[in-house]
């Protein structure tokens, strides 16, 4: 644009006192109004409010603005808000620029004068860029009305059910041989007191009866191409070696000579290389652990219905889906040997092992015994692997405190003369479950608060727990018959998932949501959503809700739609300048760039539906042919010149 063509409105937000407490917003507005091309400059307490947005809309209509600058908080928080306001007023939303004077000025400076001058610089640079902005049109993308759900824990099942009930085609896959995820190992879900397997069974039963649902177990995603509306996903499915002819007679298991620790029983017992993970597992058939199986063939000889075939190979499945929900859940923290005495005695166990010991279908039939004895003095240590321990995530695992108190009550119901101590750093009974805490107190459970982690000393048959009680500021020594380490949640194979889906992780290793408040259950990659503990520690009911939320986002994107609109902030090739070197093709992490011929000339071309707007190609292009819409060279250079004090 030229100065005589532009009519720019500038709007400065006070953000309460977040900005105005340090930045002189009135001075910034006065300064902005003096810049050529600016026809109005205003400031308001909360520009993101309805009143603030209406102020912008009215000026666009009444003053015929063709460019807007908002100086406020982070664009990550409210850029979409202001873009929508600009669009509703009839102005192309890509003639808008947002300046962050909260995090970049008021929150980083204590000197009011310097903060104000910096805000002026940023506003001046934004005005210069707006003068060079061009109206852009959103890109249409055809959609496939199907969704892939990766993971079949409670979050994945909740998401799949929500989608299937709405009529979409749903593919649900799990790397394990059965559906249900981690929750199937739980003896109870606090505070409702229902066994985990009983909780997921109705969900699985409904899901597998739906004609629009396809279940793939022993399967994992190995590659993803395409973009929102039409992802091309390749899945590898490992064989279970057992067909649907299986009658669950169990002869094969009896014949198998191989034994390995049973992960479904917290490794308290052994299982065979051919096994049924748990009662009422789906699919309802035995599976073979290919890592343990020697393929001796004894199971084949024992099977009366010839359901076993050890020659079956893995297969690859290609799917086209409009959206993807990642619900890979978590894994319980596994303490190191010697950590709080773990691995040095059978009388230091994890919370998962306790769950199995308390389960009537567990290895002891629900009898609370260790090494043939009923433990009388029991010490629980909370937050192991979450906030204390060798490899902490520094994230509260949310369900532990409620489950500890519930489990103590269950132990006391079995053995009323037990002496139970809960050693805790914080008590956080998420989900309005504080009555469990009070019930535990009323039943004689002793709560011991610590600031420094306790120490567990194993001396032969004796276990001594040392802790400094923070409330009375005294050292306490507890001789224990059993120590239970309540372990936190750790990311479930997040590294591989992040690589395949090109996502990012939090400092604790979980998959990062696009925005915790404004875009929950979403990832920065459009069309890929998160559900449950994949995005961070959650309780069972929270995971169910989060799964439904992810599904509702996918439904809003796809249901009854033939196409969707995508932001046009993508790379674009100037074919006249392109030399055909194709450096950009190799650099693109999204495979969005290919080759085409203009006459006899070879040039690069960008698929706007695949491009994620990362800018890698534009940075690598030696001829300047590749530019990024909204961030073209002339637009960035205009900002640089404005910063240097050159005429805006």
3-state SS, 111-128, equals: CHHHHHHHHHHHHHHHHH
Confidence bin at 144 (pLDDT 50/70/90): very high
Q: Which two tokens stand for residue 540?
A: 């069972």
Residue range 356-369: mean pLDDT, rounded: 87
- Beta-bridge mates of residue 465: 456, 478
Q: Which two tokens stand for residue 609?
A: 């539906």
Q: What is the pLDDT of residue 4?
A: 57
User: Model pTM greater than 0.85?
Assistant: no
Which whole-number Å values give the CA distances from 152 to 158, 497, 511, in the listed order?
9, 15, 17
More confident residue, 591 or 50: 50
DSSP state of 265: G
More confident residue, 508 or 27: 27
By three-state DSSP, how is residue 592 classified? coil
Q: Where in the chain is the domain with CATH 3.40.50?
A: 8-136
Please give the mean pLDDT across all residues of the chain: 93
Element (H, E) at 207: helix 196-208
* CATH number, domain 567-629: 3.30.70.3270
Q: What is the pLDDT of residue 2?
A: 45
pLDDT value at 19 more than 50: yes
The residues, ordered by sequence, that sit 6+ positions from 176 with a Cβ below 8 Å of its Cβ are 152, 217, 218, 277
300-351 pLDDT per residue, tens:
999 999 999 999 999 999 999 999 999 999 999 999 999 999 999 999 999 9
Q: What is the pLDDT of residue 647?
A: 58
pLDDT value at 491 more than 50: yes
Residue range 205-227: mean pLDDT, rounded: 94
pLDDT value at 256 more than 90: yes
DSSP state of 417: T
CATH superfamily of 146-238+314-329+492-558: FAD/NAD(P)-binding domain (3.50.50.60)
pLDDT value at 648 more than 60: no
Tell me the residue ranges of DSSP E strands in 175-279: 213-217, 219-227, 230-237, 259-261, 270-272, 274-275
- Beta-bridge mates of residue 107: none
For residue 520, is it left (φ>0), alpha (ψ between -120 and 50) or beta?
beta
Q: Would you identify the CATH topology of the domain 8-136? A: Rossmann fold (3.40.50)
Q: What is the pLDDT of residue 359?
A: 86
Residue range 575-583: mean pLDDT, rounded: 93
Confidence bin at 564 (pLDDT 50/70/90): confident
Whole-angstrom Cα distance, residue 39 to residue 34?
9
Handedness of CA 195, 367, 334, 388 (dihedral sign): positive
Q: Would you identify the CATH topology of the domain 331-490? A: FAD/NAD(P)-binding domain (3.50.50)
pLDDT value at 625 more than 70: yes
Q: Where in the chain is the domain with CATH 3.50.50.60?
A: 146-238+314-329+492-558, 331-490
Starting at the earlier edge strand, list the strands of the sheet with 219-227: 219-227, 230-237, 315-321
Residue 301 burial (10 A CB sphere; 0-12, 13-18, 19+): exposed
648 and 35 in contact (C-beta within 8 Å)?
A: yes
Which whole-number Å values give the CA distances from 1 to 133, 500, 638, in the listed order?
8, 42, 12
């Amino acid at each position: 644009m030229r100065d005589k063509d532009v009519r720019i409105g500038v709007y400065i937000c006070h953000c309460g006192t977040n900005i105005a407490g340090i930045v002189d917003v009135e001075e910034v507005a006065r300064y902005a109004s003096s810049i050529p091309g600016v026809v109005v400059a205003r400031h308001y307490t909360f520009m993101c409010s309805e009143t603030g947005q209406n102020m912008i809309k009215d000026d666009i209509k009444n003053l015929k603005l063709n460019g807007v600058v908002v100086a406020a908080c982070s664009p990550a928080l409210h850029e979409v808000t202001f873009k929508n306001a600009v669009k509703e007023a009839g102005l192309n939303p890509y003639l808008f620029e947002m300046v962050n004077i909260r995090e970049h000025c008021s929150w980083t400076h204590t000197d009011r004068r310097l903060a104000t001058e910096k805000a002026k610089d940023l506003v001046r640079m934004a005005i210069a860029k707006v003068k060079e902005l061009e109206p852009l049109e959103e890109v249409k993308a055809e959609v496939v009305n199907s969704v892939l759900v990766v993971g079949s824990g409670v979050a994945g099942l909740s998401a799949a059910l929500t989608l299937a009930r709405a009529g979409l085609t749903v593919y649900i896959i799990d790397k394990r041989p059965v559906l249900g995820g981690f929750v199937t190992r739980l003896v109870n879900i606090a505070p409702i007191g229902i066994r985990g397997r009983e909780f997921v069974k109705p969900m699985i039963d409904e899901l597998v009866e739906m004609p629009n649902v396809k279940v793939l177990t022993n399967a994992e995603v190995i590659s993803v191409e395409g973009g929102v509306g039409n992802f091309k996903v390749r899945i590898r499915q490992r064989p279970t070696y057992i067909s649907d002819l299986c009658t669950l007679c169990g002869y094969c298991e009896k014949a198998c000579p191989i034994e390995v620790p049973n992960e479904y029983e917290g490794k308290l017992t052994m299982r065979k290389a051919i096994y049924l993970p748990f009662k009422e597992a789906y699919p309802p058939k035995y599976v073979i652990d290919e890592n343990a199986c020697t393929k001796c063939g004894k199971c084949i000889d024992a099977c009366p219905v010839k359901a076993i075939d050890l020659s079956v190979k893995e297969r690859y499945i290609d799917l086209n889906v409009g959206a993807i929900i990642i619900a890979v859940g978590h894994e319980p923290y596994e303490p190191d040997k010697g950590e709080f005495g773990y691995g040095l005695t059978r009388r230091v166990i994890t919370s998962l092992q306790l769950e199995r010991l308390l389960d009537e279908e567990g290895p002891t039939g629900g009898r609370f015994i260790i090494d043939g004895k009923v433990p009388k003095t029991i010490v629980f240590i909370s937050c192991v692997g979450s906030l204390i321990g060798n490899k902490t995530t520094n994230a509260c695992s949310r369900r532990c405190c409620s489950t500890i108190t519930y489990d103590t009550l269950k132990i006391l119901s079995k053995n009323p003369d037990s002496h139970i101590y809960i050693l805790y750093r914080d008590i956080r009974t998420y989900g309005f479950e504080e009555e469990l805490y009070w019930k535990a107190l009323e039943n004689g459970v002793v709560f011991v608060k610590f600031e420094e982690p306790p120490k567990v000393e194993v001396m032969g048959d004796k276990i001594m727990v040392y802790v400094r009680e923070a409330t009375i500021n005294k050292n306490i020594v507890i001789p224990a018959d059993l120590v239970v380490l309540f372990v936190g949640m750790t990311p479930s194979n997040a590294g591989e998932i992040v690589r395949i889906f090109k996502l990012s992780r939090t400092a604790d290793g979980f998959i990062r949501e696009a925005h915790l408040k404004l875009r929950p259950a979403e990832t920065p990659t459009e069309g890929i959503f998160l559900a449950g503990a994949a995005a961070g520690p959650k309780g069972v009911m929270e995971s169910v809700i989060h799964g439904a939320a992810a599904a509702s986002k996918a439904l809003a994107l796809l249901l009854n739609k033939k196409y969707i609109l995508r932001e046009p902030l993508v790379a674009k090739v100037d074919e006249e300048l392109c030399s055909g070197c194709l450096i950009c093709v190799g650099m693109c992490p999204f495979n969005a760039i290919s080759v085409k011929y203009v006459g006899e000339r070879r040039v690069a071309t960008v698929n706007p539906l695949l491009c994620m707007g990362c800018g890698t190609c534009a940075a690598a292009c030696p001829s300047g042919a590749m530019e990024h819409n909204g961030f073209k060279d002339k637009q960035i250079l205009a900002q640089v010149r404005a910063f240097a004090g050159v005429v805006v």
